[in-house]
C-alpha cells in the first residue's frame, strides 16, 4: 500500500495521492501490531513492488476483485495475503483495491499466525490458506461494515481473540531479535548466542522456527530496511552504504539485489512500499 510515514498518533484519515488511508483511533490493543485501511479513490489501480521489511504483512482484501501476486512461482489472484519477513522479489497488482493491512512484529506474528513463521517459507501466502474460514468470515464482516473505524476495531478484536492463549516467543529469541533491531542489523551474530546463554546451534534452530529467518538473515534484513528507507528518501547510495554499515557500495548493491530484486538506483526511484 502507499507509503505512510505518519507518527505514533496519525490522523484518522489521510490522503496519499489517490489513496484514502484510515488509522485506528488510539492505536491497537496488542503490542507489535499496526494497522490501517486503504481505498483507491480514483480507480487508477495498484502496481507495487513488495519490499522485505522487519514485519509480517497481512492484507485483508475488501474490494470487488482480487489482487494478483506476481512472483517467481507465477501469478496468483488472492483476496487476502500474508507476506513473510523476506518474501522475495514480487509485485502486487489490482483494480479498485480496498483493504485492511496489518503489520506484525516477529513477536506478534509468532502468536497470531497460527503456524511457525518458518512455514511461510520466505514467500507470499494466501490468507485463506493460512486462516481458512476464519479469514473468510472476517472479510465478510469487514465488507458489510461501512465505517473504517468499525472495520479496524473488528480487525483488532479478531487479532485479540487469536492472541488469547497463544504461546509466547521464547525470551531468548525475543532478546536476540531486540538486539538485532537495536543494533540496526549491525551486530556480530556470533555474539548473540553467548549473550542469551544458549549454544549457537540451539539459538539458530529456535530463532529460525519462531522468527522465520536465521539471526544472520534477520540482521541482513534489518540493515536493508534502514538502507531502503534512506534510498527512498533520496540519499545517495554511497552515503547509505557508509551510514548503514555496509563494507562498501558493491556490498549494498548485492544485498539490495538479493532482497528487493533490483539495484539501489531502481529502489531509490520507487514511490511505494508495503509499509502501512
Residue-level pLDDT at 120 = 87
Residue-level pLDDT at 227 = 96
Q: In order of start, what are the domains of the chain with their CATH numbers?
A: 13-163 (2.60.120.10), 171-268 (1.10.10.60)
CB atoms within 10 A of CB 226: 17
3-state DSSP call for residue 176? helix
Residue-level pLDDT at 269 = 84
pLDDT in tens, the chain (276 residues): 554 444 444 445 554 568 899 999 989 999 999 999 999 988 778 888 888 999 999 999 998 889 999 987 788 999 999 999 988 788 899 999 999 999 999 999 999 999 988 888 778 999 999 999 999 999 999 999 989 999 999 999 999 999 998 989 999 999 999 999 999 999 988 899 889 889 999 999 999 999 999 999 999 999 999 999 999 999 999 999 999 999 999 999 999 999 988 999 999 887 433 333
Cell digits for 4?
505512510
Q: Do 33 and 43 touch, CB atoms closer than 8 A?
A: no
- What is the rounded distance in angstroms from the CA atom of residue 237 to the CA atom of residue 265? 8
- What is the rounded distance in angstroms from the CA atom of residue 255 to the CA atom of residue 260? 8
- What is the rounded distance in angstroms from the CA atom of residue 141 to the CA atom of residue 154? 8
- What is the rounded distance in angstroms from the CA atom of residue 87 to the CA atom of residue 59? 14
Full DSSP string of 244-267: TT-SSHHHHHHHHHHHHSS-HHHH
Nearest to 142 by CA among 164, 158, 160, 129: 158
Amino acid at each position: 500500500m502507499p507509503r505512510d510515514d505518519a507518527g505514533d498518533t496519525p490522523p484518522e484519515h489521510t490522503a496519499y495521492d489517490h489513496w484514502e488511508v484510515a488509522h485506528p483511533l488510539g492505536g491497537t490493543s496488542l503490542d507489535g501490531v499496526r494497522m490501517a485501511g486503504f481505498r483507491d479513490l480514483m480507480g487508477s489501480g495498484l502496481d507495487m513492488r513488495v519490499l522485505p521489511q522487519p514485519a509480517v504483512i497481512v492484507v485483508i482484501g475488501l474490494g470487488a476483485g482480487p489482487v494478483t501476486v506476481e512472483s517467481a512461482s507465477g501469478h496468483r489472484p488472492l483476496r487476502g495475503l500474508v507476506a513473510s519477513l523476506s518474501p522475495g522479489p514480487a509485485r502486487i497488482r489490482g483494480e479498485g483495491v480496498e483493504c485492511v493491512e496489518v503489520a506484525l512484529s516477529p513477536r506478534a506474528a509468532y502468536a497470531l499466525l497460527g503456524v511457525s513463521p518458518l512455514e511461510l517459507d520466505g514467500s507470499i501466502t494466501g490468507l485463506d490458506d493460512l486462516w481458512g474460514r476464519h479469514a473468510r468470515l472476517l472479510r465478510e464482516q469487514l465488507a458489510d461494515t461501512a465505517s473504517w473505524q468499525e472495520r479496524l476495531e473488528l480487525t483488532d478484536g479478531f487479532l485479540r481473540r487469536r492472541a488469547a492463549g497463544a504461546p509466547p516467543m521464547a525470551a531468548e529469541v525475543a532478546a536476540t531479535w531486540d538486539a538485532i533491531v537495536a543494533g540496526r542489523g549491525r551486530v556480530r551474530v556470533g555474539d548473540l548466542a553467548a549473550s542469551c546463554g544458549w549454544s549457537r546451534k540451539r539459538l539458530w534452530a529456535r530463532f529460525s522456527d519462531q522468527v522465520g529467518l536465521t539471526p544472520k538473515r534477520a540482521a541482513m534484513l534489518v540493515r536493508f530496511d534502514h538502507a531502503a528507507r534512506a534510498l527512498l528518501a533520496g540519499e545517495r547510495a554511497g552515503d547509505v552504504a557508509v551510514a548503514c554499515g555496509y563494507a562498501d557500495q558493491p556490498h549494498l548493491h548485492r544485498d539490495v539485489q538479493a532482497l528487493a530484486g533490483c539495484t539501489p538506483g531502481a529502489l531509490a526511484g520507487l514511490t511505494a512500499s508495503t509499509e502501512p
